[in-house]
Amino acid sequence: NAGVMQNPRHLVRRRGQEARLRCSPMKGHSHVYWYRQLPEEGLKFMVYLQKENIIDESGMPKERFSAEFPKEGPSILRIQQVVRGDSAAYFCASSSQRARETYNEQFFGPGTRLTVL
Amino acid sequence: DQQVKQNSPSLSVQEGRISILNCDYTNSMFDYFLWYKKYPAEGPTFLISISSIKDKNEDGRFTVFLNKSAKHLSLHIVPSQPGDSAVYFCAASGVSNTGKLIFGQGTTLQVKP
């Protein structure tokens, strides 16, 4: 059973370009979370999606960032007009749907390291 | 507003001894706590968790203790092994929210042979 897949693993963009990060959750998982890790910091929650729905985007910057999880295909985190401050590691995690009395563990992908020149 | 704090950026211990990593939180709505281990250039790997209805959870060499009144948890690794050298993140979540994890800044553990 393959784990969470993310691609590309490394992405270099110039200021003003667009970055698209992809995440394929574990088989059978329908919940996807995106986190960002800036240098020397912990992971910060960005957005939580289920198939075709954004459930919680409280951690997403208001401008330039968007996320989707279509019915078919991977989840996409899109950053428009990238700036140097967007340079970070972006991690995707997936979880299965479980009863609310048990915590639905999140499994993380290897991350995409975005560098903005 | 750092709701989960790991105040020790690094820890160095000798192989075979105990490693104790600490974590403090401020939000009393958190009811589930997790520890993740992370190697460079990899994603975090789940290690152990504890629900707020418990004060201790043990899994092999790893034990997590929760002190709700102090809003403090700790991870004990006994005995420590060189392969345990990694960054350890404490994370918290509340069933009342969407399951998102709030992470601490991480503690880099080095276990010396």
As a whole-number percent, the residues of chain A with pLDDT over 70 amount to 92
Asked if A3 and A26 count as a contact pair (C-beta separation under 8 A), the reply is: yes
The torsion of the CA quartet A57, A25, A29, B73, rounded to 10 degrees, works out to -70
Direct distance between the N- and C-terminal alpha carbons of chain A, in angstroms, rounded to an integer: 37
Contact between B46 and A106 using a beta-carbon 8 Å cutoff: yes
pLDDT at A101: 46
Indicate the pLDDT class of residue A114, thresholds 50, 70 and 90.
Answer: very high
Task: Check pLDDT > 70 for residue A103.
Answer: no
Q: Between A40 and B13, whose confidence is greater? A: B13
Contact between B46 and A105 using a beta-carbon 8 Å cutoff: yes
Comparing A104-113, B11-20, B93-102, the range with the smallest average pLDDT is B93-102
Mean pLDDT of the region A85-89: 96
b/e A41-66 (16+ beta carbons within 10 angstroms → b): ebbbbbbbbeeeeeebbebbeeeebe
Q: Please, is A85 exposed, middle or buried when counting C-beta atoms within 10 Å of its C-beta (0-12, 13-18, 19+)?
A: exposed
Could you say which of A104, A105, A111 has the minimum Cβ distance to residue B43? A111
Question: What tens digit of pLDDT does each residue of A32-72 get?
Answer: 999 999 988 889 999 999 988 999 999 999 899 999 999 99
pLDDT at A104: 66
Task: Check pLDDT > 90 for residue B65.
Answer: yes
* Closest-CA residue to A24 (of A70, A58, A65): A70
Indicate the pLDDT class of residue B95, thresholds 50, 70 and 90.
Answer: low
Contacts of B69 (CB under 8 A, 6+ apart): none
pLDDT at A99: 39
pLDDT at B96: 63
Q: Between A102 and A81, whose confidence is greater? A: A81
Indicate the pLDDT class of residue A1, thresholds 50, 70 and 90.
Answer: low
Could you say which of A4, A42, A111 has the minimum Cβ distance to residue B89? A42
Q: Does B30 touch chain A (CB under 8 A)?
A: no
pLDDT at B97: 66
Q: Please list every residue in chain A whose beta carbon sits closer than 8 Å to the beta carbon of residue B34.
A: 105
pLDDT at A105: 80
Contact between B43 and A110 using a beta-carbon 8 Å cutoff: yes
Q: What residues of chain B, 43 to 102, have a C-beta less than 8 Å from chain A?
A: 43-46, 49, 51, 89, 91, 93, 95, 97-102
Task: Check pLDDT > 90 for residue A30.
Answer: no
pLDDT at B68: 95
